[in-house]
């Protein structure tokens, strides 16, 4: 007891005197012989007793001081202790090493050094530590509360009642930032228990992963207390979380798990929805996975400054305000849907990532792919009438099809050989391709085998770490038990072909109509069919399902045949007989159960088109209607076919009354629009084509008018209505533009916003696009006054819609202004919106080039936001001159992007794809559209 109190006094003393007696850990940077990117395996942490004192009273000196007692076991004899430290000042005079349960003997420390490349802090010892013994290492440290939005950092908000800035502290440790908050073994496989003490002013609240055990007064620091939390379950360092704040919370009632939703006090009325659905989702997952949530409490908290969408810290989930807070009559139904999806994602992580954690970041998809897929099932449980299962499946597949068709994509599971490479893996591949592959696996195995495999995987690995082979073993057992695959197959062979190699297959179906046979083969799909790459030998174990015009069996999507792979990844073509007669179409990949595109011979496309452009288009399942649209648009984009087939097919959309095919079509057509709008003549014909197919459906849904309340129509019908209105206004259809401007001017004149909530994003953008400076300034003022994060996001996007180049130039300056009119977390999205406006593209491009040093400083060296700005600009570049400018920038500032080479390569590839598409298609597409117009 005495030793503990002495330590607590020393931390408060460090705070009081400003840490003047400390030495910095970076004072000795002599290189060590050990330079491997992973920690040595000689030590295993068992328990961290972590004490952090945080003072938030002086905004000019927001600091924290801490001390950690690290109990560890020696797995093999070693003469050093190597752990992670980043940007911490270590008081080396207070470092102590003792054998566990022997406080009388201090072990001799020879010296300590830093290996900056890997953030190693290496303590050299006078004598080796003995295998199987337990030791306690004590380290004292300090650092500023940083402004980088990771590690242990500061956030703030303005108290509207007093107009004063209120400060809070919060953590964001994923993937490797715990080391910047306390010395630790900062790798996911080093799970340990944590006892956390937070020192803070007694007027504030402290939160951490576990429930509060007690508070103790600090005699040496009047007005301060220690909040002491219960010992945690074993967890990885990236899941540790704590905060000091003045927030309020809404309780979700009396449950087995204490569930609370926290926000700044002025936003408490926006917590109801999250507080309602959180416990429902938690219970759904408990039942689905057969394992109870292992903690006694779960807090979810909305942070004003937060870079990620949310973070799944065990027991203390952190969110952006936009992904947790819902304001009735201000937030839209799409906001509600987004919030439900993010909460479902983070709660799924409590099992996939927290309970069972990947051994190393190479298998990040075991966390993110699972959480993405399970969140789809969770939201469908909450609101089956939203029809989100199909939409989410299609959205994931669209994302994968676009990203993974780049040469510079990467496998789902890929070696990571430096901490700096980890951040780039939080991308479409880990999230969406991981989810899409799991959906495919679900379809292959069926409901029972799939979930029994998951339960088995979780049970045998709980509170531990796993890799993807552990998952395949669990699924193979169940697949054989339920006879879902033949005994000669195993899930590792099948699934490794999807997770260990880049890309996805294009399945080619060529029919011989005279012999009633067809040949089926596969190759990798690329966004440019003429690209020369060594990918011809790639092969995927591809599950084939199909139906015909006669059978129309879309209810069953069982795998009927496999495209198999020989050893050495050689493709095996297959021939099938008598599947369809010559007058009927055949369609593969029922309900898009597999992650592949399909290309048919010309006659089969004609047969499919004939059905779609008839009153029998509903004979084809809605998911497969969307699939056909996506396939033909992408096949034409990549040069696998000409544009005749997609233009013929898309005519049927005039009668399509379902949201999903329209959503898919407009996603694909937006890519054409993005590039073609720079060429007035072909774009004129293209925009007329769009108006021709959109206008009938826009009118049938009553345009932008609010004659039907959102609560009186289904969620999916509302989204369809808003999608068509968005494009109608974009294409300057008079009814839409006039309605939007009228709504906006009524608001501006009365200061009472009666614009229907779900159409506000469309109305604001259209009114600003067709308005003047006073309209823009009116909306800018509303942004500064708004207390609702979801509304602020809508306003930020709308302000980029102006056609006034001077205003847009000013807006870019305001985005990055140090006065933080727009929070750092929203700046990249705001800049991206300005880039996509052709009026301001060149201004935004030049801003990136001319202010690259300031932007690098603004975001910090480890932020991905700088590459987000680059990607936004790259997406709009269509000529060699601009490509050369970007390449010159990247050459001059290679150090700024060295940790994000994959993102840089993708940006450059996007530009080359844009240029290639223009040269191949601009003139030809104009010719097709002119010919089609003259024949109408």
d(CA 636, CA 647): 10
b/e map 316-351, b = 16+ CB within 10 Å? bbbbbbbbbbbbeebbbbbbbbbbbbbbbbbbbbbb
Tokens 């306690």: give the residue: 136
**Is 84 part of any known ligand binding site?**
no
708: Cα within 13 Å, side-chain hemisphere: 15
The first and second tokens of residue 773, run together, are: 């400076």
CB 855 within 8 A of CB 893: no
Q: What is the DSSP letter of 385?
A: G
159 pairs with which residues across the strands?
164
Q: What is the DSSP letter of 318?
A: E
Instruction: State the DSSP string of 478-498.
Output: HHHHTTSS-TT--HHHHHHHH
SS3 at position 860: coil
48 pairs with which residues across the strands?
70, 194
The first and second tokens of residue 812, run together, are: 């870019």
d(CA 817, CA 747): 28
CB 382 within 8 A of CB 281: yes
The first and second tokens of residue 12, run together, are: 């408060």
The first and second tokens of residue 781, run together, are: 């003022």
Let me know the angle formed at the C-alpha of 267 by 261 and 269, rounded to the nearest 5 degrees: 75
b/e map 14-32, b = 16+ CB within 10 Å? bbeeebeebeebbeeeeee
Nearest to 643 by CA among 610, 707, 686: 686
CB 534 within 8 A of CB 547: no
Nearest to 768 by CA among 723, 734, 799, 792: 799
Q: What is the DSSP letter of 894?
A: H
Q: Among residues 346, 452, 630, 899, which one is catalytic?
A: 346
d(CA 765, CA 768): 5
Question: Which residues have a Cβ under 8 Å from the Cβ of 891 and sit 6 or more positions away?
Answer: none
**Annotation says 630 is catalytic:** no
CB 429 within 8 A of CB 377: no
**Is 720 part of any known ligand binding site?**
no
The rounded radius of gyration (Å) of the Cα atoms in the chain is 29
Tokens 């107009």: give the residue: 163
Tokens 């097709």: give the residue: 928
Q: What is the DSSP letter of 246?
A: -
d(CA 604, CA 311): 47
Helix (H) or strand (E) holding 768, with range, is helix 760-769
SS3 at position 808: helix
Burial, 657: exposed, middle or buried (Cβ in 10 Å; 0-12, 13-18, 19+)? middle
Tokens 């459906």: give the residue: 697
CB 16 within 8 A of CB 58: no
Provide the Cα torsion 320, 322, 323, 327; round to 10°: 130
Task: Give backbone dihedrals phi and psi of 566, rounded to 5 degrees, phi first.
Answer: -75, 170
Instruction: State the DSSP string of 662-683.
Output: HHHHHHHHHHHHHHHTTSHHHH
The first and second tokens of residue 177, run together, are: 């930032």
CB 394 within 8 A of CB 626: yes
Tokens 């259209």: give the residue: 766
Using DSSP bridges, classify how beta strands 63-74 and 134-144 pair: parallel, antiparallel or unpaired: antiparallel
Number of neighbours of residue 684 by Cβ within 10 angstroms: 13
**Residue set of the binding site:** 345, 349, 368
In the annotated binding site for Zn(2+), the residues are 345, 349, 368
Catalytic residues: 346
């Amino acid at each position: 007891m005495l030793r503990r109190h002495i330590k607590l006094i020393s931390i408060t003393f460090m705070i009081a005197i400003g840490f003047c007696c400390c030495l910095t850990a970076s004072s000795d940077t002599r290189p060590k012989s050990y330079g491997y990117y992973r920690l040595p395996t000689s030590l295993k942490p068992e328990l961290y007793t972590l004490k952090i004192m945080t003072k938030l009273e002086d905004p000019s000196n927001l600091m924290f001081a801490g001390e950690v007692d690290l109990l560890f076991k020696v797995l093999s004899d070693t003469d050093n202790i190597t752990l992670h430290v980043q940007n911490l000042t270590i008081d080396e005079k207070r470092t102590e090493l003792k054998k566990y349960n022997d406080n009388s003997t201090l072990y001799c420390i020879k010296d300590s050094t830093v290996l900056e490349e890997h953030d190693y802090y290496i303590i050299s010892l006078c004598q080796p530590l003995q295998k199987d013994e337990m030791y306690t290492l004590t380290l004292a440290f300090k650092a500023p509360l940083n402004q980088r939005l990771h590690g242990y950092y500061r956030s703030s908000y303005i108290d509207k009642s007093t107009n004063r800035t209120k400060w809070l502290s919060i953590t964001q440790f994923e993937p490797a930032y715990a080391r910047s908050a306390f010395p630790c073994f900062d790798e996911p496989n080093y799970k340990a228990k944590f006892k956390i003490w937070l020192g803070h002013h007694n007027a504030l609240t402290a939160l951490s992963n576990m429930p509060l055990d007690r508070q103790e007064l600090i005699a040496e620091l009047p007005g301060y207390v220690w909040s002491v939390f219960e010992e945690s379950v074993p967890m990885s360092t990236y899941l540790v979380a704590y905060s000091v704040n003045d927030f309020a919370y809404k309780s979700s009632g009396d449950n087995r798990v204490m569930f609370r939703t926290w926000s700044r006090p002025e936003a408490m009325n926006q917590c109801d929805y999250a507080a309602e659905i959180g416990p429902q989702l938690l219970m759904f997952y408990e039942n689905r996975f057969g394992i109870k949530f292992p903690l006694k409490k779960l807090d979810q908290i909305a942070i004003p400054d937060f870079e990620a969408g949310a973070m799944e810290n065990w027991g203390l989930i952190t969110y952006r305000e936009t992904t947790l807070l819902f304001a009735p009559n201000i937030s839209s139904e799409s906001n509600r849907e987004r919030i439900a999806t993010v909460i479902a994602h983070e709660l799924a992580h409590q099992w996939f990532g927290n309970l069972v954690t990947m051994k190393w970041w190479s298998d990040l998809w075991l966390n993110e792919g699972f959480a993405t897929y399970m969140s789809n099932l969770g939201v469908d449980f909450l609101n089956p009438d939203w029809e989100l299962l199909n939409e989410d499946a299609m959205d994931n597949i669209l994302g994968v099809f676009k990203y993974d068709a780049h040469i510079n994509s990467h496998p789902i599971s890929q070696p990571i050989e430096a901490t700096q490479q980890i951040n780039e893996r939080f991308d479409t591949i880990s999230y969406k391709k991981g989810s899409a592959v799991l959906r495919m696996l679900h379809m292959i195995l069926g409901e029972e085998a799939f979930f029994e495999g998951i339960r088995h995987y979780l049970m045998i690995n709980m509170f531990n770490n796993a890799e993807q082979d552990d998952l395949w073993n669990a699924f193979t057992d169940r697949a054989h038990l339920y006879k879902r695959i033949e005994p000669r197959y195993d899930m590792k062979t099948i699934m490794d072909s999807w997770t260990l190699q880049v890309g996805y297959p294009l399945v080619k179906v060529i029919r011989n109509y005279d012999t009633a046979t067809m040949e089926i083969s596969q190759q990798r799909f690329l966004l440019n069919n003429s690209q020369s790459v060594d990918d011809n030998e790639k092969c995927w174990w591809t599950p084939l399902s199909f139906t015909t015009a006669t059978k129309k069996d879309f209810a069953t999507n069982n795998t009927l045949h496999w495209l198999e792979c020989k050893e050495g990844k050689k493709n095996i073509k297959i021939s099938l007989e008598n599947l369809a007669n010559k007058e009927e179409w055949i369609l593969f990949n029922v309900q898009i159960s597999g992650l592949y595109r399909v290309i048919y011979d010309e006659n089969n496309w004609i047969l499919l088109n004939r059905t779609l452009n008839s009153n029998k288009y509903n004979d084809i399942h809605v998911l497969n209607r969307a699939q056909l649209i996506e396939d033909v648009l992408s096949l034409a984009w990549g040069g696998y076919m000409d544009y005749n087939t997609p233009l013929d097919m898309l005519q049927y959309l005039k009668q399509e009354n379902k949201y999903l095919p329209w959503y898919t079509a407009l996603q694909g057509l937006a890519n054409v629009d993005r590039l073609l709008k720079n060429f007035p003549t072909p774009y004129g014909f293209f925009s007329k084509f769009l108006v021709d197919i959109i206008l009938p459906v826009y009118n049938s849904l009553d345009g932008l008018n609010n004659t039907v309340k959102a609560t009186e129509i289904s969620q999916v019908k509302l989204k369809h209505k808003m999608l068509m209105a968005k494009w109608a206004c974009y294409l300057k259809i008079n009814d839409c533009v006039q309605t939007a401007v009228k709504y906006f001017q009524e608001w501006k004149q009365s200061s009472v916003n009666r614009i229907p909530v779900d159409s506000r994003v469309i109305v604001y953008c259209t009114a600003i696009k067709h308005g003047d400076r006073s309209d823009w300034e009116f909306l800018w003022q509303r942004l500064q006054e708004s207390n609702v994060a979801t509304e602020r996001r809508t306003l930020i996007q709308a302000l980029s819609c102006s056609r006034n180049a001077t205003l847009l130039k000013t807006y870019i300056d305001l985005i990055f202004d140090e006065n933080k009119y727009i929070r750092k977390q929203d700046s990249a999205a705001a800049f991206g919106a300005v880039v996509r406006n052709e009026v301001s593209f060149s201004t935004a491009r030049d801003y990136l080039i001319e202010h690259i040093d300031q932007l690098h400083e603004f975001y910090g060296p480890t932020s991905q936001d700088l590459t987000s700005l680059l990607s936004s600009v790259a997406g709009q570049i269509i000529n060699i001159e601009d490509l050369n400018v970007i390449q010159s920038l990247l050459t001059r500032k290679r150090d700024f992007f060295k940790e994000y080479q994959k993102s840089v390569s993708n940006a450059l590839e996007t530009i080359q794809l844009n240029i290639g598409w223009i040269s191949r298609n601009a003139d030809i597409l104009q010719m097709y559209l002119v010919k089609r117009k003259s024949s109408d």
